[in-house]
Amino acid sequence: MRVAMIGPPYSGKTTLFAAIAEAGGSKVDVSRPDQPHLAVVKVPDERLRWLTGIYKPQKEVPAEIELLDMPGVDLADAVAREHWRRHWAQVRDCGLVVMVVREFEDDSVPAYRNRIDPAGDAGELRAEMLFADLEQVTSRIEKLEAQLKKPANHDATQRELELMARLREALEQEKPINQAVHNEAEGKLLRSFAFLSGRNHVVVLNCDESHAGQAPQPVAGLEAIRLSARIEEEIAQLDVADRTAFLADLGLTAPARDRLLRECYHKLGLVTMFTVGEDECRAWTLPAGTDAVNAAGAIHSDIARGFIRAETMTHEDLHAAKGDEKAVRAAGKLRLEGKQYIIKDGDIVNFRFNV
């Protein structure tokens, strides 16, 4: 699962990206500001840390997501804006878009980019996404109209053309794609286009160091996370042992990185299933709504094929029993679930199978 970070130039995307990657222990090369940067980052999870403390496995395996740091979208410059369009395909491949907008003052930012207008920036980015969708819809309409001129059965083409015409009308009125989709069949037809508007977005307000603890207001109607990329950068450079004291000095309890990654995970529609044991404690990333047999398949196809039962307890119940599995069982809170059981976030599962 991949998350794209976009925003105007000098909003602090690369600073934040490098800080997040480095705090998670991966080195990244960000020497080319005109190129996208990609990193695999571990999703921080207190629950997994706690399980590791209980089971003392040889290995702890956290959930991961991919972060893609895009070059700045320069909407003020017509040539740069045109040039940037080739990047949208890469953003479309991502499950989520994080818009990073500037709220900090810094002398190193060139004067032409020196406005501070987070709502304006986020609004313009959103308008640009609508525009990118409109371009895609328009070129699809042209292709479908060309098809109609050839002799063939045109039922499907005609239906798609009607849908695309409706989408074009919505986009021209600056409405996102999803507002013009009427049913599941249409949604399915559109999935492969991976339109940008009407999806979940996350807004990051990159603020001055002194404001990092303040709760944000919604930005351009979107929920926002306020953080300072500069602070995250400094945290990443500290030893893990020194981080808590550094944060406390700033009146903070945890790095914003944790909050941001959890929020991305949530907005991507993912849930975490845990498996525990002496060899490893592991967080598995599943799309919300995954049933037990498919969750088993995510671990190994043999486990899905020979599926008998999913022995399941919640993280809360194990926590309440202070990590004593036997006590959870004695309290009747260890469930034997079948193939159709829908895995919940925080479930600790032991698959019984037979091959």
Ligand X SMILES: Nc1nc2c(ncn2[C@@H]2O[C@H](COP(=O)(O)OP(=O)(O)O)[C@@H](O)[C@H]2O)c(=O)[nH]1
Interface contacts to ligand X, rule CB under 6 A? 7, 9-15, 72, 104, 106, 108-109, 206, 228-230
9 binds, among Mg ion, ligand X, none (CB under 5 to 8 A by kind): ligand X
Cβ proximity to ligand X, 15 vs 275, nearer residue? 15
Count of residues in contact with Mg ion, rule CB under 5 A: 3
Provide the minimum distance between the beta carbon of 233 and ligand X in the complex, in angstroms, as a whole number: 7
Residue 275 binding: pick among ligand X, Mg ion, none (C-beta 5-8 Å cut-off by kind): none
Short-list 102, 117, 122, CA closest to 205: 102
In whole angstroms, give the CA distance from residue 132 to residue 49. 42
Rounded least distance, CB 33 to Mg ion, Å? 5
Three-state SS for 281? Answer: strand
> Which strands form 270-275's sheet, in the order they lie side by side?
59-61, 280-287, 270-275, 347-353, 307-314, 335-337
Binding partner of residue 255 among ligand X, Mg ion, none, CB cut-off 5 to 8 Å per kind: none
Cα radius of gyration rounded to whole Å, the chain: 24
Measured CA to CA, the distance from residue 16 to residue 122 in angstroms comes to 17
Measured from each CB, the residue nearest to Mg ion is 14
Number of H helices, E strands in the chain: 14, 12
The interface with Mg ion within residues 24-43 (CB under 5 A) comprises: 33
172 binds, among ligand X, Mg ion, none (CB under 5 to 8 A by kind): none
Contact between 285 and Mg ion by CB under 5 A: the answer reads no
The verdict on 312 binding Mg ion (CB under 5 A) reads: no
Q: Can residue 14 be called a binding residue for Mg ion (CB under 5 A)?
A: yes
Report d(CA 278, CA 281) in Å as an integer: 8
Q: Residue 12: which of Mg ion, ligand X, none does it interact with, CB under 5 to 8 A by kind?
A: ligand X
Mapping DSSP to helix (H, G, I), strand (E, B) and coil, where does residue 157 land?
Answer: helix
Residue number, 224 or 296, with CB nearest to ligand X? 224
Q: Which does 226 bind (CB under 5 to 8 A by kind): ligand X, Mg ion, none?
A: none
H or E stretch at 5: strand 2-6
- Beta bridge partners of residue 353, listed in sequence order: 307
Q: Where along the sequence are the contacts to Mg ion (CB under 5 A)?
A: 13-14, 33
